[in-house]
Each structure stands twice: as structure tokens, then as C-alpha cells.
Homo-oligomer: A and B are copies of this chain.
């Protein structure tokens, strides 16, 4: 899975005429072994522990590349920071977000997806993406 994503990114790099660099390898490793919804700040701190030399701007730039290559997706959960999550080709999911502890749970619901498509059709829209997030308090925080 990690291997597959590394492969996808490598091919993306090549196809685009970009270069494989030490920094990109390090950031990719850190990203793939990090939480599924990580902020740049968090990833940066994680990286710096082992690799002091790496610049903030490089992390920003590299995560954009991950998104472009299809191995990551940018998300905004309303806390002011962009998060990047792991994406596996052909998969899609939405999110439950705990506004107390920040826990993010992923879910898939084909019926909802279908109804969204219906709504779009009724209004003549051609949908490219959508965002469905349910915000509340998770089971643990309710206790």
C-alpha cells in the first residue's frame, strides 16, 4: 500500500519531468507513516525531528504535489488548517469529525452518494467533487 503509493508518486514525477530528491523521499515517507489526516504543521514537526534541514516551503510544495499525483487529498475541517489525507485510487469516503477531541472517522455510504447525484441532476449540475462532513461529539467524548 505504501509501496503502491510510492510507485504512483515516482511515476508522476517522471511523467511530469520533475526530479526525485532527498527531501521528497523524506516527506513522502513521513506522510505515508503519519496519521491519515495530518496538517502541514504536524507533518513538518514530525519531519524535523529526524531531518532538521528541511524547509517549511518544501513541505507545502511537496504536499501539493502529492495531491496532484493522486496519493493525497487536501481537506479542510474548519479548524483553519489544511490537512492532507491518504487517498487510494478509486476509493472515496466522507467524514465524521469530533469537535471536542478532533477525532476524524471515515465512512462510505453509497445511498447518500446516489442521492447527491440525483440532486445534482435535478439542478442540471455536472458534479466534480463534493464535501460531506458531519460535526459533533464522538462516543468517547460523550462519556
Query: Interface on A for B, CB 8 Å cutoff?
Result: 76, 78, 96, 98-99, 105, 107, 109, 111-112, 115-116, 119-120, 123-139, 142
- Complex CA gap A131/B133 in Å reads 5
A-B contact pairs, 21 of them (CB 8 A): A98-B125, A99-B128, A109-B119, A112-B116, A115-B115, A116-B132, A119-B134, A123-B138, A124-B138, A124-B139, A126-B136, A126-B137, A127-B135, A129-B136, A130-B132, A130-B133, A130-B135, A131-B131, A131-B132, A131-B135, A132-B132
- Complex CA gap A78/B75 in Å reads 10
- Complex CA gap A78/B112 in Å reads 22
